[in-house]
């Protein structure tokens, strides 16, 4: 079972709050940081990272609470807030010698990237998001029976105790459900990589739930403050998404443009795990972005 990207060096890098992140690094040139989503680890970037490392310094961490990074107990409401997780990324990049960098996130990692862009505009030069909506907009568009597609959001939003117990009792079935249902091309996540994801998630149930719970609580508070203040992303932004709007009745580009005035929004045919299903398109969009 693999838990590393060939050709990358691995480091334990200090982040915020005495947390250390597991970080893969390779290449040279202007830095690009890649943040993974759920239910995955930094391995989801293996194809994209290897391509980008031919002419960039590529930094690929496991988020706090995931993979081989530290998993602090959620003793405070903000332990797994996207604000804390964004501070992890800025701090760890600086520890590696990079005070400014392009930032790309998928799924949960895209929410961390969005918060980093809002909180640390001097550090994030360019920002890309793969297949997610900003937190406030995500909750706003989920209504009625259509919200069933995101049942996991509601489950993990519940108070501590029951969600962790239920998920831990069927961890492999729970996390595999999303790997299978959200993938258009099953071959994109081969058995060894799939097993690595399941193994990592099985070891991280409390912290994964805490991450999601934060998105239903403190992350909403932080986003509402920014929206009320008119804070928006100052850097060039690229967004890749499936055509969610056709199914749920909203315009994703319009929702994103309210946060990102300098926006390149594209709809793709790949499934949710597009960095594995269509890495060529993802790489091309990132390269276009960092040239802006």
pLDDT tens for 226-248 read 999 999 999 999 999 998 766 67
Mutual angle of helices 171-181 and 162-169, in 10-degree steps: 80
144 pLDDT tier (thresholds 50, 70, 90): confident
Pairing state between β 20-26 and 9-14: antiparallel
Domain of residue 183 covers: 9-291
Q: Residue 1: what pLDDT?
A: 45
Residue 4 lies in a domain: no
249 pLDDT tier (thresholds 50, 70, 90): confident
Residue 109 lies in a domain: yes
Strands (DSSP E) contained in 131-247 are 237-241
Residue 2 lies in a domain: no
**Is the model's pLDDT at 132 over the cut of 60?**
yes
**Is the model's pLDDT at 125 over the cut of 50?**
yes
Active site annotation includes 107: yes
Which residue in this structure is represented by tokens 């960098």?
A: 101
Q: Residue 205: what pLDDT?
A: 98
Catalytic residue, from 42, 56, 265, 272: name it.
272
Percent of the chain with pLDDT over 90: 92
Residue 200 lies in a domain: yes
Residue 3 lies in a domain: no
> Which CATH number covers residue 33?
3.40.50.1820
Residue 202 lies in a domain: yes
Tell me the average pLDDT of the chain: 96
User: Among 141, 140, 135, which Cα is nearest to 113's?
Assistant: 135
Range from 78-87, 139-148, 177-186, 205-214 carrying the lowest mean pLDDT: 139-148
Residue 26 lies in a domain: yes
Active site annotation includes 47: no
**Is the model's pLDDT at 149 over the cut of 90?**
no
User: Among 262, 278, 103, 80, which Cα is nearest to 185's?
Assistant: 278
Domain count, the chain: 1
CA distances from 175 to 104, 141, 169, 215, 281 (A): 23, 24, 12, 19, 26
User: In DSSP terms, which residues pair with 129 in a beta bridge?
Assistant: 105, 239
Catalytic residue, from 107, 137, 226, 278: name it.
107
């Amino acid at each position: 079972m693999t838990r590393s990207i060939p050709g990358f060096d691995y480091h334990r890098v200090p982040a915020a709050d005495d947390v250390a992140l597991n970080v893969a690094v390779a290449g040279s040139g202007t830095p690009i940081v890649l943040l993974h989503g759920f239910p995955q680890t930094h391995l989801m970037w293996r194809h994209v990272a290897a391509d980008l490392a031919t002419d960039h310094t590529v930094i690929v961490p496991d988020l706090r609470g995931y993979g081989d990074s530290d998993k602090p107990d959620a003793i405070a409401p903000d332990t797994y807030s996207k604000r804390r997780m964004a501070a992890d990324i800025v701090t760890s990049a600086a520890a590696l010698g990079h005070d400014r960098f392009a930032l790309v996130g998928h799924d949960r990692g895209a929410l961390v990237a969005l918060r980093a862009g809002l909180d640390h505009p001097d550090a994030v030069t360019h920002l890309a998001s793969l297949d997610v909506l900003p937190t406030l907009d995500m909750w706003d568009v989920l209504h009625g029976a259509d919200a069933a597609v995101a049942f996991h959001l509601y489950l993990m939003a519940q108070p501590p105790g029951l969600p962790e117990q239920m998920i831990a009792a069927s961890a492999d079935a729970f996390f595999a459900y999303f790997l299978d249902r959200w993938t258009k091309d099953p071959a994109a996540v081969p058995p060894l990589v799939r097993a690595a994801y399941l193994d990592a998630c099985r070891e991280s149930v409390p912290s994964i739930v805490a991450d999601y719970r934060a998105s239903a609580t403190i992350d909403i508070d932080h986003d509402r403050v920014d929206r009320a203040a008119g804070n928006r992303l100052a850097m060039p932004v690229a967004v890749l998404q499936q055509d969610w709007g056709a199914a749920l009745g909203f315009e994703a580009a319009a929702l994103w443009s309210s946060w990102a005035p300098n926006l390149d929004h594209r709809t793709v045919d790949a499934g949710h795990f597009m960095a594995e299903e269509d890495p060529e398109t993802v790489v091309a969009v990132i390269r276009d972005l960092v040239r802006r």
